[in-house]
């Protein structure tokens, strides 16, 4: 499911959110770099919140979803789909 969601997300971001042309493979690689960071951090972040700090799992994941949304927007805007001004 992750792979399918990632491919669909890439196409939708590239076409509708940050419409760009050219360098599909470069954009796809950068897209994955922006997405994999929060995925890995989430594993440790959520485990720390639940295990050590005794947070409710739903509350802990809610915090991470908000942080991930901000990270994703700026990461994709300024890295994945960024084009130099001509």
pLDDT of 86 reads: 57
Is the Cβ–Cβ distance between 19 and 48 less than 8 Å? no
pTM: 0.81
Per-residue pLDDT of the chain (86 residues; tens, 9 = 90+): 889 999 999 999 999 999 999 899 999 999 999 999 888 888 888 888 888 888 888 888 888 899 999 999 999 999 999 998 75
Distance, in Å, from the CA atom of 36 to the CA atom of 78, rounded to the nearest integer, reads: 16
Give the pLDDT of residue 1: 82
* DSSP code for 18: S
What are the sequence ranges of the domains in the chain?
A: 2-80
Q: What are phi and psi of 78, to 5 degrees?
A: -100, -5
**How many secondary structure helices (H) and strands (E) does the chain include?**
3, 0
């Amino acid at each position: 499911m992750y792979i399918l969601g990632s491919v669909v997300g890439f196409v939708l971001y590239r076409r509708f959110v940050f419409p760009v042309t050219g360098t599909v493979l470069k954009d796809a690689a950068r897209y994955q770099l922006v997405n994999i960071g929060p995925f890995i951090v989430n594993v440790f972040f959520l485990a720390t919140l639940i295990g050590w700090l005794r947070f409710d799992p739903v509350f802990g994941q809610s915090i991470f979803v908000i942080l991930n949304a901000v990270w994703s927007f700026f990461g994709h805007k300024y890295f994945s789909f960024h084009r130099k001004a001509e």
